[in-house]
Amino acid sequence: MGLIVQKFGGTSVGSIERIQHAATRVIAEVQQGNQVVVVVSAMGKTTDELVSLASQISSNPSKREMDMLLTTGEQITISLLCMALQEKGYEAISLTGWQAGIETETVHGNARITNIETERIQKLLNKDLIVVVAGFQGMTEEKEIATLGRGGSDTTAVALAAALQADKCDIYTDVPGVFTTDPRYVKSARKLKAISYDEMLELANLGAGVLHPRAVEFAKNHHVPLEVRSSMELEKGTIVEEEASMEQNLIVRGIAFEDNVSRVTVVGMGDRLHTLSTIFSTLAKHHINVDIIIQSALSTGEPSISFSVKTEDVQNAIDVLSRYAEKLGYERIEHEKGLAKVSIVGSGMISNPGVAADMFEVLANEQIEVKMVSTSEIKISTVIKQAEMVRAVETLHQAFQLDAEVVGAKS
């Protein structure tokens, strides 16, 4: 007998029929003799709808009350799934995040899980109950309800699997696995049989919404065997594992992208020793997340610093820097909206020089201008015009042969 954690995302529990179908997937594991903990998201677009309700009352609602509101979505699903299981003759009990012992740091809206007290779940499992836990939520030390960030139900599932030392964590979603890129945008995207934790972490951090980045982090740190698979079809999904031994001959494993990126350039701020640290500590103090940073000297000899931020943060970034204009002593601030980040990821890059050059050549041949670049051992990110994003992804996907079935792939 094993212990399995199953997670069903919003679309997979988006209607009564889908909840009933999810119940059959849970029961199939129970019939195999497994103990099962199920983690669910809010039904369909419920979380978006709740966000929209709040925005009709306030443009800047209290984060505490937002968490109170958003956590109701998952609470609907846990009770309905339990009823569906009970109707089919199986004993099941629903638990909110805090009833399940999920403790978080004291942050609203994007809290990290700090600990899970598993005693209650263990007891319920030992009584042969199916335990259904609300994803995306936990409780702070001060007994406040906190959410884990959008998409955070994945993290609830993996963290529970780690804490319970589950044999497996299955993420059931609306695509049959992790693809070489988002299959909703690129028709030739191909499902991967396996991917390493490191590659998946990069893809998730760089915009591939199929897994919450912190879920991958948990899986990597606690060696949780993870499978991403379809809630509708029975086919095998994608295994996320330590070392993706398969498809070694692929230098690039996948392509991630995100839109709504903007670039801010601070021009002519003199080359005082501490300017760089002052700019970024000022932005950090105001909770503005900066992504790519480039420091350069213009042809006139004017030093400049460019950085990218989410477009929703650009005005705030400019306002904050303007407030400190005197201290920073720059000449002017420029900005450009309507950009996107396109990244190629693959652990094969470590031992293959020239991948960046190949990427730039492919984009240049498509007349796509690269505005910013950032690299790590296993990824290369470029900032380009948002209007060219999908074309860039499609072209890179083809150029790096991601659409081709690979010889030597592990089955």
User: By the criterion CB under 6 A, which residues form the site for ligand ASP?
Assistant: 9-10, 41-42, 47, 73, 135-136, 150-153
CB of 41 to ligand ADP, least distance (A): 6
* The two three-digit tokens of residue 121, written as one number: 């779940």
Residue number with CB closer to ligand ADP (9 or 138): 9
CB of 395 to ligand ADP, least distance (A): 17
Judged by beta carbon distances under 5 to 8 A according to partner kind, the member of ligand ASP, Mg ion, ligand ADP, none in contact with residue 12 is ligand ADP
Question: Among the candidate windows 207-215, 264-272, 302-310, 383-391, which touches ligand ADP by CB under 6 A?
Answer: 207-215
Residue number with CB closer to ligand ASP (47 or 382): 47
Question: Among the candidate windows 63-71, 118-126, 179-187, 342-350, which touches ligand ADP by CB under 6 A?
Answer: 179-187
List the one residue from 73, 135, 138, 151 that touches Mg ion (CB under 5 A).
151
47 binds ligand ADP (CB under 6 A): no
CB of 120 to ligand ASP, least distance (A): 22
| Beta-strand pair 226-230/168-173 | parallel
List the one residue from 11, 71, 381, 386 that touches ligand ADP (CB under 6 A).
11
CB of 113 to ligand ASP, least distance (A): 13
101 binds Mg ion (CB under 5 A): no
179 binds ligand ADP (CB under 6 A): yes
Residue number with the smallest Cβ distance to ligand ADP: 9
Residues 6-25 binding Mg ion (CB under 5 A) are 9
CB of 151 to Mg ion, least distance (A): 4
254 binds Mg ion (CB under 5 A): no
Residues near ligand ADP, by CB under 6 A? 9-12, 41, 151, 173-175, 178-179, 181-184, 208-210, 254
Residues near Mg ion, by CB under 5 A? 9, 151
